[in-house]
């Protein structure tokens, strides 16, 4: 697994363990169901990731007795060092943070990130999509390549891609506006009882 995918997997695991301790099977299941970008990950990549995080002290493992005489399972928990590492990873924004593979994981963990970091990631994703939209529009405005049949379907694919990107940009614009509004709003004042 490449370094970038390993980093995204590590971030996702830390984020899930921040919420609650989990055993390996449940962790893998939640990576797939809650952070769908991990459908291609296997136990072969998850367990080396867990082993490395154990070695670094970011997580701990504890045996859990099985119900009805089955095999005991290992439950993984986030340590204080893992909590700090999670916040460090969230704050270390790189261009890869805004790509298709990483953005969803970072977005899912926005509740753990500061407002300024959320805005940087949202703006970075928006910029990346604006560039993609420009490329798609350029392809749509140029003559179709290949046979007429292939060219027609290719153009339709580009049109569909452009519409999808436009929707995501619109969504990002609304998130950015909301985030900026919350950042500019003063915190609520406590009510005085009288």
Read out DSSP for the chain?
--HHHHHHHHHHHHHHHHH--EEHHHHHHHHHHHSGGGTT--HHHHHHHHHHHHHHTSEEEEEEPPGGG---EEEEEE-HHHHHHHHHHHH---GGGGSHHHHHHHHHTGGGS-HHHHHHHHHHHHHHHHHHHHHHHHHHHSPPPSSHHHHHHHHHHHHHHHHHHHHHHHHHHHHHHHHHHHHHSPPPPPPPP-
List phi, psi (to 5°) of 143.
Answer: -60, 145
Q: Are residues 49 and 79 in the same domain?
A: yes
CA angle 128, 134, 135 (to 5 degrees): 90
Asked if pLDDT for residue 191 goes beyond 70, the answer is no
Q: Are residues 86 and 166 in the same domain?
A: no
In the predicted model, what is the mean pLDDT of the chain?
Answer: 87
Contact indicator for 70, 92 with CB cutoff of 8 Å: no
Q: Are residues 87 and 31 in the same domain?
A: yes
Domain-embedded: residue 13: yes
Q: What's the chain's length in residues?
A: 194
Residues ≥6 apart with Cβ < 8 Å to 158: 136, 139, 140
* Strands laid side by side in the 22-23 sheet: 22-23, 73-78, 59-64
Asked if pLDDT for residue 176 goes beyond 70, the answer is yes
Domain enclosing residue 177, as ranges: 114-184
Q: Are residues 148 and 178 in the same domain?
A: yes
Q: Are residues 25 and 90 in the same domain?
A: yes
pLDDT of residue 159: 93
Q: Are residues 89 and 123 in the same domain?
A: no
pLDDT of residue 89: 93
* Report field, pTM of the whole predicted structure over 0.85: no
Q: What are the pLDDT digits (tens) for 28-83?
A: 888 888 776 565 566 678 889 999 999 999 999 998 876 776 777 899 999 999 99
Domain-embedded: residue 108: no
Which CATH number does the domain housing residue 7 bear? 1.10.10.10
Q: Are residues 82 and 39 in the same domain?
A: yes
Q: Are residues 61 and 126 in the same domain?
A: no
Q: What are the pLDDT digits (tens) for 91-143?
A: 999 988 999 888 999 999 999 999 999 999 999 999 999 999 999 999 888 87
User: What is the domain count for the chain?
Assistant: 2
pLDDT of residue 15: 93
């Amino acid at each position: 697994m490449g370094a970038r995918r390993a980093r995204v997997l590590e971030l996702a695991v830390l984020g899930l363990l921040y919420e609650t301790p989990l055993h390996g099977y449940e962790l893998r299941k939640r990576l797939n169901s809650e952070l769908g970008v991990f459908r291609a990950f296997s136990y072969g990549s998850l367990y080396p990731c867990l082993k490395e995080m154990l070695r670094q002290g970011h997580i701990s493992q504890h045996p859990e007795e099985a119900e009805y005489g089955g095999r005991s399972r290992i439950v993984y928990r986030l340590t204080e060092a893992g909590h700090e590492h999670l916040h460090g990873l969230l704050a270390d924004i790189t261009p890869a943070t805004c790509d298709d593979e990483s953005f969803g994981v970072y977005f899912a963990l926005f509740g753990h990130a500061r407002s300024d970091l959320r805005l940087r990631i949202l703006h970075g994703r928006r910029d990346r999509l604006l560039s993609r939209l420009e490329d798609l529009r350029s392809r749509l405005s140029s003559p179709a390549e290949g046979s007429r049949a292939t060219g027609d379907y290719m153009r339709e694919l580009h049109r569909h891609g452009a519409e999808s990107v436009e929707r995501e940009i619109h969504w990002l614009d609304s998130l950015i506006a909301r985030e900026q509004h919350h950042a500019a709003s003063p915190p609520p004042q406590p009510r005085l009882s009288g």
